[in-house]
Amino acid sequence: MTEINIHGMLTNYDKKNLTIATVCSHSSLQIFNGARKEGFKTLGIAVGEKRKYYDAFPLGKPDEFLIVKNYKEILKHTDELQEKNAIVIPHGSFVEYLGAENFLKLDLPTFGNRNVLMWESNRDKERIWLEGAGLTMPREIKDPHDIDKPVIVKYHGAKGGKGFFIAKTYDEFKRRLEKGKPFVIQEFVLGTRYYLHYFYSPIQDNAYKLSKGSLQLLSMDRRDETTIDEVQRLGSIAELEELGIHPTFVVTGNIPIVMRESLLPKVFKMGEAVVEKSLKLFDGIIGSFCLETVVTEDLEFKVFEISARIVAGTNPYSFGSPYSEFIQPDLSTGRRIAQEIKYAAKKNQLDKILT
């Protein structure tokens, strides 16, 4: 549990004069734009200098910047941010740049449940959560000698797929492994990837109903990963591997996508199970989350990861998606977050969505 007293802090906040703050990266254009559409003031935290490119995007630019020398310095500016009634929207880069430990002690109201961090960042706990919810995850291979099909080797703490590699045999695994780095081996799931963007509200009942609150599906994307997604332009992967050229998984962008409509009931069932299990394990995930999945040719979902906050895959949809259009026109995830905060502020329930 976080030890800081967010509840106490919120009683001193002027709820009619809130500021939405986030770090200038990742999905910040969308977050600022969404907050602006819902009538909030916005503040961008940037390192070194004001991010000049925001001038080119006036509707995605924050009203003001807080310039810090490095991300850790944010911790020294929390009084100033509290005076502005700031609510922080964490995104993947925010947590990574600040560091998980610092993020947990950040003395500011933060959208979502911070306690989810230890469940998503620890691969064993993540498996307990997701498999406990009845989801199928890629099989883990404990002993590398058992590699008899393609596997993906993932180093702990590697971000954005950096350093991951595919091996098809034990020998290949041994050759490619970097010594001294902890790793897991997973079956490489064959199929098509879908990254599903959900929004769970513990305080509103106007969507797919759960035991408490309700769930929405706002959009989905597929990540563009270099070099695995394009390497075939040069030759077959087997051919290239002969030359010592191995595919990599570093994310460079996101591609919008929809899936066959008949799969949507499964998508909601998975989202529901993940939320219900989280309510039992740690008071529940709150707000945006993403299930990273592969759909096999038998139309089964295998979930290889969960991200428990807004993901950059929502960026193709700053003006809404083919799914959010059926909820409300022009609804991005950034805007949906702002709406949730606005609703909670009005109903005096901010403590239910901020930690």
Q: For binding to ligand ATP (CB under 6 A), which residues are involved?
A: 138, 152, 154, 158-161, 164, 186, 188-189, 193, 223, 225, 249, 292, 294, 304-305, 307
Comparing CB distances to ligand ATP, the nearer of 18 and 153 is 153
Q: Cβ distance 248 to 164 under 8 Å?
A: yes
User: Smallest Cα–Cα separation from 304: which of 137, 119, 126?
Assistant: 137
Q: Cβ distance 290 to 196 under 8 Å?
A: yes
Q: Cβ distance 47 to 69 under 8 Å?
A: yes
Distance, in Å, from the CA atom of 237 to the CA atom of 229, rounded to the nearest integer, reads 11
Torsion of CA 296, 301, 307, 312, to 10 degrees: 50
Q: Whole-number minimum distance, CB 152 to ligand ATP, in Å? A: 5
Q: Whole-number minimum distance, CB 188 to ligand ATP, in Å? A: 4
C-alpha dist (Å) from residue 119 to 141, 210, 303: 21, 21, 15
Q: Whole-number minimum distance, CB 304 to ligand ATP, in Å? A: 4
Q: Which residue is nearest to ligand ATP (CB)?
A: 161
Q: Whole-number minimum distance, CB 248 to ligand ATP, in Å? A: 10
Comparing CB distances to ligand ATP, the nearer of 304 and 323 is 304
3-state secondary structure (DSSP) of residue 223? strand
Q: Whole-number minimum distance, CB 306 to ligand ATP, in Å? A: 9
Q: Whole-number minimum distance, CB 174 to ligand ATP, in Å? A: 20
Comparing CB distances to ligand ATP, the nearer of 103 and 304 is 304
Comparing CB distances to ligand ATP, the nearer of 159 and 347 is 159
Comparing CB distances to ligand ATP, the nearer of 210 and 218 is 218
**Count of residues making up the chain:** 355
The single residue listed with the structure tokens 């944010």 is 74
Q: What is the largest CA-CA distance in the chain?
A: 64
Q: Which two tokens stand for residue 140?
A: 């883990």
Comparing CB distances to ligand ATP, the nearer of 13 and 94 is 94
Q: Whole-number minimum distance, CB 197 to ligand ATP, in Å? A: 13
**Burial group, residue 342, by CB count within 10 angstroms (0-12, 13-18, 19+):** middle
User: Smallest Cα–Cα separation from 156: which of 204, 110, 106, 121?
Assistant: 121
Q: Whole-number minimum distance, CB 349 to ligand ATP, in Å? A: 30
User: Smallest Cα–Cα separation from 219: which of 319, 94, 108?
Assistant: 319
Comparing CB distances to ligand ATP, the nearer of 178 and 330 is 178
Task: Count CB neighbours of 334 within 10 A.
Answer: 31
DSSP state string for 8-69: HHHHTS-TTS-EEEEESSTTHHHHHHHHHHTT-EEEEEEESS--GGGGG-GGGS-SEEEEES
Comparing CB distances to ligand ATP, the nearer of 257 and 279 is 257
Sign of CA dihedral 317, 318, 320, 323: positive
Comparing CB distances to ligand ATP, the nearer of 107 and 305 is 305
Q: Whole-number minimum distance, CB 135 to ligand ATP, in Å? A: 13
